[in-house]
Every structure is written in C-alpha cells, then in structure tokens.
Structure 1
C-alpha cells in the first residue's frame, strides 16, 4: 500500500507522518510512506497512492488540483485534507474525502477517519497469494481484467501483471464483487468494467483479448449484461 503525505509546512507534515505511522504500526499494516513538501514533485511522479493526506494551499500546485491528479491515477484513492482553511470543504467533499481536518488537527478525528478509510480500502482491494513467489500482494479489485484457469493453476490478470495463485476459481467468484464480475465460462471470471464489445458468444476486452462465453451460459449472461448496463 502506497501512502502519501504532502504539505509545504514541514512541522505539520511531520505531525501527520508520526500519527499515520503510529496508526499503521499498531494495526500491523505494511505500507510504503512518501512525504513531500513540494506538490510539484508528486505531480511529476507516476506513483499511484492508496491513501493520501494533502494540504490545500501550497506553493505551485494546490491540494485540490493534486487530489484530482491522484484520483486520475487511482480512482479509489482515500483522501484526507489537512488545512488551515474552511472555505475548501465543498471542493473536498466533491472528491469524497474521508476527513477535512483543520490545523491544528485532532488526532482522534484522524484515527476515526483512518478506521473508515481502512474499511473502504479492504472492500476495494483483494489479497492475492502469488503461488510461484510465496508472497501476498494487494490488488485493486477493479484493476483485475479476468481470472482464468491455466495449466491446473488459477491466474489473476490485470493490464500489467499476471498472478499465478493457489486458489480455485470458485474462491475468486466469492472474493470478487458479483455486481461486475461474471463467470462466463468454467475457466473465466470476467470484470465487465473492462469489456469494450459484447458479441453473443464472446467478450472483447480493453486489451484486445477475446473471452469465450460458454454456450450453456450465453442466455443467462445476455440478460445479466443488459441488467448491468442499466445499473451503470
């Protein structure tokens, strides 16, 4: 999990860092923590963050603009604003911030917000045990294109990675949200958010891949697909 704290006032940045580190340590949460006093450094990087704490009025780039950039990289980033100004609350709420903390902030409000953020993050992410590395990684559920059986193993596929796991495909049907993941075939569980074209017997993904729909599942999927489109 990547965490960012960005504030052009080093004193407040350090206060937030200490509290966040203490919170994560108490709960045994492993995270990579980045700090920045210049928001332009963050804008120039390509790092996607799971959790971010931002001042609003900063030199060069304001916190609202920076938050929009972080949302572009990861639409599920959990945002906290730590600022001396009240007038930006509406902008922060439009970004679905977890807390709008006024300086000097109350640590208990920060911890309560972090509790909510962790619940949200747990719901948005899935843990993948990578069989050939004997390691566990956390993947944003919506980043998963599909899950498939290959050579007696189950593979979780994103646009950039392929994770070979020891779990059965049925386990992934339970793990992933059934509102937009559908078992179109005994060997494929597909994220419909990444489908660009639906033909009755197959799906086309953003990557150009084509996923077959099993003949026995075509009628049921046809109904599900149009229900899914109406929900969106």
Structure 2
C-alpha cells in the first residue's frame, strides 16, 4: 500500500502524517509508504502506485478538484480524501466520487473512523480469494465474486469471469469472504454488495439483472442497513 498527501499547508501535512502513523500504531500494523507533495503538478508527475490520497483543494497551480479528476481517470480504484476548509467544493468533489470529505481543522477520532473505512475498502478491492474446484484452484479478486449459490450439496461461485463449482460448503464461504461487502441474504445465497443492481423484500438483482438471489423477509432490514452502509463507505 502507498499513501499520499498533497497539501501546501505544512502544518496540515505534519498533522496528517502524525494521525496516519498513530492509526497504524493503534492497530498494530507497520505504517505503509507515506509520500507528501505540496502541489498537484508534482503529484500527477509521480509514477508510483496511488492507493490512498489526502488531497487539498486550494493549492498553487492546479487545484485539487482538477487533480482528483485526473487521478480518477487513470485509476478509478484510488481512495481519495478531500481535505479542506471550504465546504463549497463538496459538490465538485462528489462528482468524481471522493471517498470522504474532511474539514479542517482535523478531528482525530473522526479521522480514525474514516481511515478504518478506507483500509477496509482497500483490503476488499485487493484481497485475493482462492476458489478450489475438483479441477484445481483459481485465485480471483474478492471484487470479482458476484454471488455464492448453494443448490443441494453443490455450491457455485458466480464471478465476472465464469462460474466455478466449489468443493467447499456455504459456512466455509461465509467465514472466508470479507464481512463489509458480502452478506448472506438467504441460506442458499451470499451476495457481493458491489454487484447489486436493485432489490425488494424477496429478491436481490445482481450484475445488471443477469443473476438473482433470494432475500429472506426477516433479513430485509439488516440487509438494507448493511447495503446502505456499504454505499456510504464507497462514496
């Protein structure tokens, strides 16, 4: 993982560095590579991976809205925090799907909560899942799994690539898949929130209505709440 800060305010940069280091200390993990820039031009010229970015809006030269748009065009998986004192930029920032909007001065506990959400999202996007079949093991990103479906003793993993018949049962998959983006809607279905098209009290439509999963009525409220929390975490 590579975390970047782009802000021309040295005090904010220092505070962000401190908060990021404190966050990883608190969870007992070594802080990833942390790189700082004071202007958008330098950030855009950087050739390294960009996983999580803390981006100021008002800087000399290119403003943060332009820089964020350009980075999203190159990598739509980048997790961008807009860090600014000016709330009038919120609408522009939301247009290129920033992850969070942090107001200056930074509140440490709010920062920690949002950082945890960002790490959870990053892990979900990057984690690889082994799918063991009778023919062998296929390793795919968790995000490519659409649904896990049980019919009798057979368990099918529907993915964006193809379907796989798993040698493992539903409890195995329920334990393995990341809880923040997978949900068991019915005893026969585990779904990935990322691929939900729409849903009602009985059915979840997936992957542009190409797949469907049953939704138990008693799970509807919990499912809706979990799905809305997922959407909130990816905005």
Q: TM-score, normalised by structure 2?
A: 0.57
Partner Cα distance (2:5, 2:12) in 1: 10
| C-alpha distance 29-72 of structure 1, shift in aligned 2 (>3 A) | farther
In angstroms, what is the RMSD of aligned CA positions? 3.2
Once the two structures are TM-superposed, the CA of residue 57 in structure 1 deviates from its matched residue by: 0.4
Structure 1 unaligned blocks of 5 or more: 130-146, 148-167, 187-226
Quote the residue 1:14 is aligned against. Answer: 14
Report if aligned partners of 1:48, 1:74 keep a CA contact under 8 Å in 2: no
Quote the residue 1:4 is aligned against. Answer: 4
Report if aligned partners of 1:173, 1:183 keep a CA contact under 8 Å in 2: no
Q: State the SS of the aligned residue for 2:127.
A: strand
Once the two structures are TM-superposed, the CA of residue 108 in structure 1 deviates from its matched residue by: 1.3
Quote the residue 1:178 is aligned against. Answer: 145
Quote the residue 2:35 is aligned against. Answer: 34
Partner Cα distance (1:174, 1:63) in 2: 30
| C-alpha distance 99-11 of structure 1, shift in aligned 2 (>3 A) | same
Partner Cα distance (2:78, 2:116) in 1: 15
Once the two structures are TM-superposed, the CA of residue 126 in structure 1 deviates from its matched residue by: 1.9
| C-alpha distance 173-86 of structure 1, shift in aligned 2 (>3 A) | closer
The number of aligned residues is 156
Partner Cα distance (2:97, 2:52) in 1: 13
Quote the residue 1:112 is aligned against. Answer: 113
Larger relative contact order (CA 8 Å, sep ≥ 6): 2
Partner Cα distance (2:47, 2:140) in 1: 32
| C-alpha distance 22-94 of structure 1, shift in aligned 2 (>3 A) | same
Quote the residue 1:43 is aligned against. Answer: 44
1:37-92 deviation per Cα after TM superposition (whole angstroms, max 9, x unaligned) = 12211112223311000110000111111111221232111111111111001112
| C-alpha distance 47-72 of structure 1, shift in aligned 2 (>3 A) | farther
| C-alpha distance 60-29 of structure 1, shift in aligned 2 (>3 A) | same
Partner Cα distance (1:87, 1:37) in 2: 22
Q: TM-score, normalised by structure 1?
A: 0.58
Structure 2 unaligned blocks of 5 or more: 147-158, 166-205, 211-235
